[in-house]
Amino acid sequence: MDAEIAWAVAAGLSYWAFLLYSASGSSPEGMQGYDLYQTSANKGDIKWCQIRPVAMFGSTGNYATQVAEMLAMCQQANYQNVLTNRPLVYIYYSTSELASYWGGSNANLKAAIDSFRSAATTAGLGNPYIVLMYGGGTGAAAAMTALGCEAISTYVSRLPDGLNLTFADLDTGVQAYWEEMRAAAVAASGKNVPICMMGWERSPRIDRPVAWELTSQIPFFGSSRPFDLPTSGEITSQIQACVDFIGAHTSDHDANTALIYAWNEFDEGGWICPTLGDLSGSRVSAIASVLI
């Protein structure tokens, strides 16, 4: 983990956004990276923020524990703020989790979000800057409005469909998606956080399916869009394009931040962290050439 922190700093990254699966320490597979980061003596070298799934907010009328946990996270010295003092929080939005935990009601979930906002400001923090992550601009903007969030984004960009696609095909789709999401956010009086993509190639999950994809992750079903790997030049080009996009629409990106998919989604084909196949860290260098 200390080495990964050093690589992230070398890439010029400001923060890691951790997707939370459970309470810290309770799910070794899902939270091991987070736990190692939190125990590293070097954790102050790169900040972090939470991507909190809908299920991780609690349930209808029962969210005090989760609000306290979120507040404690945001109070850490190495937590990422935007707009000076506003803790950055991403919500991984799922209609199935909304149905299971919140009776299918955005209003029920909003009560928990409002409670968190109140707890944060009462504790002397800035009003949390909450970004709703959901695929498709129109749907994301509608959920953002219903929940009172500040901005929209997504965990993975919309992907062109087909076989034997190039990274250039992926890049074209990614950049078109930035504009789709920005336009939807603006129409709903919200803001946008664009996402870059380091790739998408899930064939490792065909060889070794994860537990929740044992029946779906088969050739030409769960992995029907294998893109080839990007060159360093293609990575640099996309990161620079994203920086330029934000710069051209500063009022629509007031948090002045973007996401990159991903630091370590190795079996899904999107990563920055050096691997045995790239010990020199070419992706780190490609990103650093823009961000540093």
pLDDT at 201: 84
pLDDT at 221: 57
Q: What SS3 class is residue 18?
A: strand
- What residues make up the domain containing 150? 2-291
pLDDT at 212: 77
- Distance of CA 130 to CAs 12, 13, 37, 46, 63, Å? 23, 20, 23, 20, 17
Q: Which helix (H) or strand (E) holds 197?
A: strand 195-197
- On the question of a cis peptide bond just before residue 151, with omega within 30 degrees of 0, the verdict is no
pLDDT at 191: 98
Counted domains in the chain: 1
Q: For the chain, what's the residue count?
A: 292
pLDDT digits (tens, 9 = 90+) for 22-50: 765 555 677 889 999 999 999 999 999 99
pTM: 0.95
pLDDT at 27: 59
173: left (phi over 0), alpha (psi -120 to 50) or beta: alpha
pLDDT at 228: 87
Q: What SS3 class is residue 49?
A: strand
CA proximity to 5, closest of 30, 28, 34: 34
- Supply the CATH number for residue 155's domain: 3.20.20.80
**Residue 103 · residue 109 · CB < 8 Å:** no
Cα–Cα distance, 218 to 148 (Å, whole number): 39
pLDDT at 206: 78
Report, as ranges of residue numbers, the positions in the chain whose pLDDT lies below 70: 23-28, 217-226
